[in-house]
Amino acid sequence: MYDNKELERYITDHIDRESDVLKELNRYTNINILRPRMLSGHIQGQLLKMICRMVNPVNILEIGTFTGYSAISMAEGINEHSHIDTIEVNDELRLTIEKFIKKAGYQDKITLHIGNALEIIPSLNKKFDLIFIDADKRQYPEYYKMVFPLLNNGGYILADNILWGGKVVQPLINTDEYTKGILEFNDMVKNDKRVEKVILPFRDGLFLIRKKE
């Protein structure tokens, strides 16, 4: 029998290699930053890059930058006319994010906003083709309600961690606010007739949501 690490090594050995900057950022995050598991990582980064290739978005919104791995991954998959606005609430991460965005050469493609996403999003005055949500799980329902009108018809929302370590199937014994936020969000998407949706059982679960045209 294989174990998960063995399978992950096999997968990473058969997909596009991690860029040098992303590899350095991955290592830096794991050595220097609290809760490094929040980093998207090689496999998810390649998935985000591939989705950008397929969707070909003009404007992307990311809620939850962390150290910038996912933003840089998406930047690797967009065209010269595309732009990413990414929002991070933790101002202590600003220097790390800016350092690696610059090192990757995407300072003109990625705009970093530090602060509360629910306050920043209305000030952006943009419509988006792709929105990636990977921030405070308690706020997922509010993020969804706020960004939906800003999503172009035919556009996509990606929401990470929506299986929440399996807690979504044990709601009676997992009543913390983070689990409640995920459960409410998942039910909100399930019942939303304006979208098509599928859950990818990938890592901690990725909701792929398409706004109908």
Average pLDDT value for residue range 122-149: 97
Return the ∠ at Cα 131 (arms to 143 and 206), rounded to 5°.
Answer: 85
- Helix, strand or coil, per DSSP, at residue 104: helix
Sheet holding 206-211, edge to edge: 110-114, 83-88, 59-63, 128-133, 151-160, 206-211, 195-200
Whether 1 shows a pLDDT value over 60: the answer reads: no
Write the pLDDT tens digit of every residue in 40-76: 999 999 999 999 999 999 999 999 999 999 999 999 9
Whether 11 shows a pLDDT value over 80: the answer reads: yes
CA distance readout (Å), 128 to 30, 66, 211? 31, 21, 11
Average pLDDT value for residue range 147-157: 98
pTM summary value: 0.95
Write out the two tokens for 68. 């910038």
Going along the chain from its start, the domains and CATH numbers come out as 4-211 (3.40.50.150)
pLDDT band, residue 10 (cuts 50/70/90): very high
CB contact at 8 A, 94 and 86: no
Return the ∠ at Cα 106 (arms to 104 and 108), rounded to 5°.
Answer: 155
Q: DSSP for 73-96?
A: HHHTTS-TT-EEEEEES-GGGHHH
**Per-residue confidence (pLDDT) for residue 171, from 0 to 100:** 64
| CA gap 106, 199 in Å, rounded | 30
| CA gap 47, 3 in Å, rounded | 22
SS3 content of the chain, % helix, strand, coil (to 5): 50, 20, 30
CB contact at 8 A, 12 and 41: no
**Per-residue confidence (pLDDT) for residue 170, from 0 to 100:** 84
| CA gap 177, 139 in Å, rounded | 10
CA 136 to chain centre: 12
Average pLDDT value for residue range 80-85: 97
- Helix, strand or coil, per DSSP, at residue 170: coil
Summary mean pLDDT of the chain: 95
| CA gap 185, 133 in Å, rounded | 11
**Per-residue confidence (pLDDT) for residue 175, from 0 to 100:** 76
